[in-house]
Structure 1
Amino acid sequence: MIERIDTATRMSKIVKHNGVAYLCGQVGDGSTVAEQTRDCLSRVEALLAKAGSHPDRMLQAIVWLSDMADFEEMNAVWDAWVPQGHAPARACGEAKLARPDLKVEIIVTAACEG
């Protein structure tokens, strides 16, 4: 069974299938990469909770930066947020994001509880 949560015309915020939650890409507010990353990860955590999951159940994360020069600043926030010993498989690349003010977007896949 496929469960779609917070579905609109273009996308669902969460799609669950076979005990796995797939989150849509999350961006955050703020003027710096650190601020946007913190806000983005807060949104990821809220969606994981809504899906019946948690950051320690993440399987994969894909991080898009508008500029790879921001890699270390983003990683400082990421490293403080990821539960120790529960780092997901992760990729990070540079991409032109949906709006010029966006500096980071994160896409997460996680196992659901139960």
Structure 2
Amino acid sequence: MRARDLFDYPLATTFRPPNIRKILSDLSGRQDFLPTVECEHGYALLNVVMHSDTIGIACNANLRPYQRDGGLVALQLADLTVEQEEAFYTRYGVVSRVGYGLSPLAQGLVRQLIACDTEL
């Protein structure tokens, strides 16, 4: 599938980082685009995609259970360069104040992030 073909369908996204929005705009030949549906929560987005003809743009980790059971498939964009494909990925980090320990909840989040990162 080419990026331009995505725009033939309704697009559902979470609040996407600007890097993905820019790449999709560039590949489609458009100045910008607005998704048809924008969800705050990734699982709400998946619910929209599972019950409509929208194409969703979501985090890979959220998709895995649905891909394993055959409910969703990941679309590959044929016209992405290596640089553009790398730019699709976002980088997040955990920060904390110097001299303050992390709460048990924050420590659990860090463990979960490390586990997810290891899977990738």
- The structure where strand makes up a greater share of residues is 1
Q: TM-score when scaled to structure 1?
A: 0.31
- The structure where helix makes up a greater share of residues is 2
Q: TM-score when scaled to structure 2?
A: 0.30
